[in-house]
Amino acid sequence: MTDKNNNQDNKFLKHLKKNWAKYTVGILLIVAILYNYDRDPKVTQAVLASMVRHSTPLVLGALCGLIGERSGIINIGIEGQMLISAFAAFMTTAYTGNIIFGVVLGILTGMFMGYLLAIMSIALKLDQIIGGTVLNILALGITSYFYQVGLSMGQKILPIPLGKLADLPLVGRVLFNNPPITYTTFILVFVVHYILFHTKWGLRTRAVGEHPRAADTVGVDVFKIRYVNLIIAGGVAGLAGSFLSLEAVGSFERAMTNGRGFVALAVMIFGRWTPFGAWGAALLFGFASAMQTQINFSGALDIPYQFISMLPYLLTIVVLAGFVGRSRAPAASGVPYEKEG
Amino acid sequence: MTKENKKKDDQIKERSFGIVGVIWKKISVPLTSIFLALFIGGLIMAISGSDPFEAYGALFQSAFGDINGWGRTLEKATPLIFSGLAVTFAFKAGLFNIGTQGQLLMGAITSAYLGFAITGLPAIIHIPLALLGGALAGALFGSIPGLLKTRTGAHEVITTIMLNYVAINITDYLSNGPLKEVSSSDVVARTPPIEASAEIPQVAGLPLGFFIAIIFAVFVWWILEKTTLGFEIRTAGLSGTAAKYAGIKVTAIIVITMVISGALAGLGGAVETQGIVGRYQPGFNTGLGFDGITVALLGKVHPIGNIFSALLIGSMKAGGAKMQFVADVTPEITNVVQALMLFFVAADRVVRWIIRQRETDDEGLTLTTGWGN
């Protein structure tokens, strides 16, 4: 009995030793936030809410990326998937006046883009980096070509406060007073985690991403797993696109994704190809973006705004270099699978 | 028929077509790809109610119709060759440099600074000096992701993307602050114009920068194919572990590759500043670095292939305006066509199937095997 306890203690200590930096940063952040909240609740809430807003498309983009990569397909076309979905969602809403149609079409468009990527990288065995690049350029071209100036969609999606939860101090406004796609994102993080690590499908997905040949020998259909995963991942990116045009901005602008698809890739790697990791990374990035907006807005620091705008990007580099180090991608990620015989 | 017999049969067939057959075999896939991409692009135009023949006609006329058209096309192709070479060079070492955009911006603003701040130099010194400055700035900026990768393992795809945004902000700040043109009426954020002695001249209506770009393409090919460094770079690109066992210092190779790649991108920015824009102005170089990825991939990651793919994309940029003017077709359709070209060139199986050509061993385009740590 005592032996077991000792073991557990050791495990805990080891874990603490390994991850002390993470916990320290986390605790410091929480203390800083609480301190600020005590001083200026309004601004703190605004910054945190803005953090969540900034992080939503990144979480979704990163989920899209990691679902694909866990099954062995690198997706650098997230940017394009998001852009064209944002466009489809906006156009549908503008023409039908129905936001739900818009979101559905956004997701379907994303799924179709995922399907295209799957055809290119699985059936045609195209280099996956090229496949993603094709999606990115194609999306930019198609959306710009068919874009019509002056189209509008009316009201963007509004936040839905979740009853009494929304009245809680601090977290209420930040977590429980959001528009529906943001709530969906929270839920998706848990769902994807559950599917990846606690279901048969997830096990197969990870097997296919690590060692497709072995998975194949025990009867897993490598191609099917990859196809389905990429299509689902595309749907998630489609949701991110819908978020951008329908929930965040309320219109479509040329190249409105503005690099978020690539940042989402950073978030994915930063989060070590796990949903919760990606969520944390996206929140950190969102926090930096929110702080940047806040500092620029308040003019509290006498620094040219460009240097403050660099913050989120520099932060990503520093954290990537300092804390994460060498993260390991799924082994078969990027390698086309050829059946033997 | 056994496989060997088949191969022999093929060789005989090939011989019977002579040199034409050999050349056809080399260019049939790219040519068919371009044709297919244009065809589908035309279909999209037709569906949306425009006349594709009119549109393509205007584009072609404007890009190649006369000496001015050629001038425009070569002008647009010049920075693309450089950014394409930058991407190509990094690819050869197995690195994906998405940061060409940032490196190009740093090169562009540095060469602008050297162009207007130094006066009284003869052109023969001023032009190369400003170009060198641009190359150094790009190299310096390119070395950061290289060092980060070798020292800390931070992946270059992410660090280069992040550094792109950093570069945008740095150049914005510089052209808005310390390097801003001071004039009573001008509120535009931009640097003063460069001295005439730093401007890259035109030769018989054609931009000299283009020929500099060609020299660099050949130079890059020479480095990669004929030098020890090139051999080491390519070995490291094929397999890091194999290179290590062969006694190659892979970490050094990574940094050197990123430095050279960054220098090439920086040169692209410098040539654009000194040959076309004449100063640094935010927003004037947008996309030139990113297009380098397309150029490199379309050129099959070959330095010389880059020249042709840059010409192709350059011609679309050069003729886009006319296309919009004559046929009322938004020039962004060329983006769609580019994406399709890239697709068909990379998916040569599809194209070969269409033109009934047998697969060759050396073809096919593979760049990456994962995130490759």
Q: Residues of B numbered 228-287 whose beta carbons fall under 8 angstroms of chain A's beta carbons: which are they? A: none
Answer positive or negative: Cα dihedral of A287, A288, A293, A294.
positive
Model pLDDT for residues A134-168, shown as the tens digit of each residue: 898 899 889 988 887 778 877 788 888 877 777 77
Q: Residues of B numbered 119-178 whose beta carbons fall under 8 angstroms of chain A's beta carbons: which are they? A: 148, 151-155, 157-159, 161-166, 169-170, 172-173, 176-177
Nearest chain B residue to A125 by CA distance is B347
Three-state secondary structure call for residue A160? strand
* Cα–Cα dist A135/A76, whole Å: 9
* Cα–Cα dist B282/B176, whole Å: 9
Model pLDDT for residues A176-191, shown as the tens digit of each residue: 888 899 999 999 999 9
Nearest chain A residue to B297 by CA distance is A130
Percent of chain B with pLDDT over 70: 89
A311 C-beta neighbours (distance < 10 Å), count: 18
Percent of chain B with pLDDT over 90: 42
Model pLDDT for residues A203-248, shown as the tens digit of each residue: 999 999 998 999 999 989 999 999 999 999 999 999 999 999 999 8
Q: How confident is the model at residue B366 (pLDDT cuts 50, 70, 90)?
A: low
Q: Do B333 and A129 touch (CB under 8 A)?
A: no
- Each domain of chain B, given as residue ranges in start order, spans 78-311
Q: Do A144 and B342 touch (CB under 8 A)?
A: no
Instruction: Report phi then psi at A49, rounded to 5.
Output: -65, -40
Contact (CB, 8 A) for B93 and B86:
no
Q: Do A145 and B330 touch (CB under 8 A)?
A: yes
Q: Which of B48, B157, B342 is opposite residue A265, by nearest beta carbon?
A: B157
3-state secondary structure A84-109: HHHHHHHHHHHHHCCHHHHHHHHHHH
What is the Cβ-side half-sphere exposure of residue B164, based on CA atoms within 13 angstroms? 22
Model pLDDT for residues B186-234, shown as the tens digit of each residue: 677 888 889 888 889 888 778 899 999 999 999 999 999 999 999 999 9
Alpha-carbon distance B334 to nearest alpha carbon in chain A (angstroms): 7
Q: Which of A138, A325, A335 is opposite residue B336, by nearest beta carbon?
A: A138
In the predicted structure, residue B253 carries a pLDDT above the cut 80: yes
Q: Do A307 and B169 touch (CB under 8 A)?
A: yes
CB contacts of B367 in chain A (<8 Å) are 127, 129-130
Q: Do A304 and B176 touch (CB under 8 A)?
A: yes
Q: Do A134 and B365 touch (CB under 8 A)?
A: no
Lowest mean pLDDT among A101-115, B237-251, B355-369: B355-369
- Per-residue pLDDT, averaged over A270-284, amounts to 90
Q: How confident is the model at residue A269 (pLDDT cuts 50, 70, 90)?
A: confident
Q: Do A334 and B172 touch (CB under 8 A)?
A: no
Model pLDDT for residues B48-69, shown as the tens digit of each residue: 888 889 999 999 988 888 888 8
**Structural domains of chain A, ranges and CATH numbers in brackets:** 54-324 (1.10.3470)
Pick from A37-51, A118-132, B254-268, B340-354 the range whose average pLDDT is largest.
B254-268
In the predicted structure, residue B12 carries a pLDDT above the cut 60: no
What is the pLDDT, as a whole number, of residue B224?
94
Kindly state the helix (H) or strand (E) to which residue B206 belongs, with its residue range: strand B206-207
Structure tokens at A211: 């060692």
CB contacts of A141 in chain B (<8 Å) are 332-339
